[in-house]
Copies of this chain bind each other. A is one copy, B any other.
Amino acid sequence: MAANGRADEVHVEVEARLRHLDQRYTRGRRAIIDLLVSAGRPVSISDVAEGLPDLPLSSAYRHLADLQIAGLVRRVAANDEFARFELAEDLTEHHHHLHCVSCGTVIDFTPSAAFERNVTQTVDKLAETEGFQPHSHRLDVLGLCANCH
């Protein structure tokens, strides 16, 4: 199954990057990464608690913080006030999010390259007129997911 292949590649990359920071790729960290890979969308802390019931919450928070610092995980601002996390785009691909305003679920989606080009161009141009130096962008679509309508 493709997901396993993907997970393996990710593990290799994560381990290398942690090593570079004199950090170890331990069981707990690996479990978090596995969860993020298999979820394929941003997960909340309660998703982690549910998926990894033996991992103490404090460790989950610490792992996620460490992985963020290492640039391997990204915090996603959802519409509710709960933190969500996903693999950094280096480990996946550029994508955006659909946020269900009813149940809070966040789903990944990847628009066409042409659309992305248009967004990037517009962003670069507009941002320059504001004296703003853009690094990246994110597009969130709010609405109701398939389960909620």
Contacts and interface: CB of A to CB of B under 8 A. Distances in A.
Given A122-B115, A146-B130, A138 B135 contact: no
Contacts of A100: 132
Interface string A96-108: 0010110000010
B118 A146 contact: no
A55 interface: no
A32 interface: no
Nearest to A140: B138
A139 B140 CA distance: 6
B130 A135 contact: no
A109 interface: yes
B142 A136 contact: yes
Contacts of A56: none
B127 A135 contact: no
Nearest to A138: B140
Contact of A135 (B118, B134, B142): B142
A141 interface: yes
Interface in A101-149: 101, 107, 109, 111-112, 115, 118-119, 122-123, 126-127, 130-146, 149
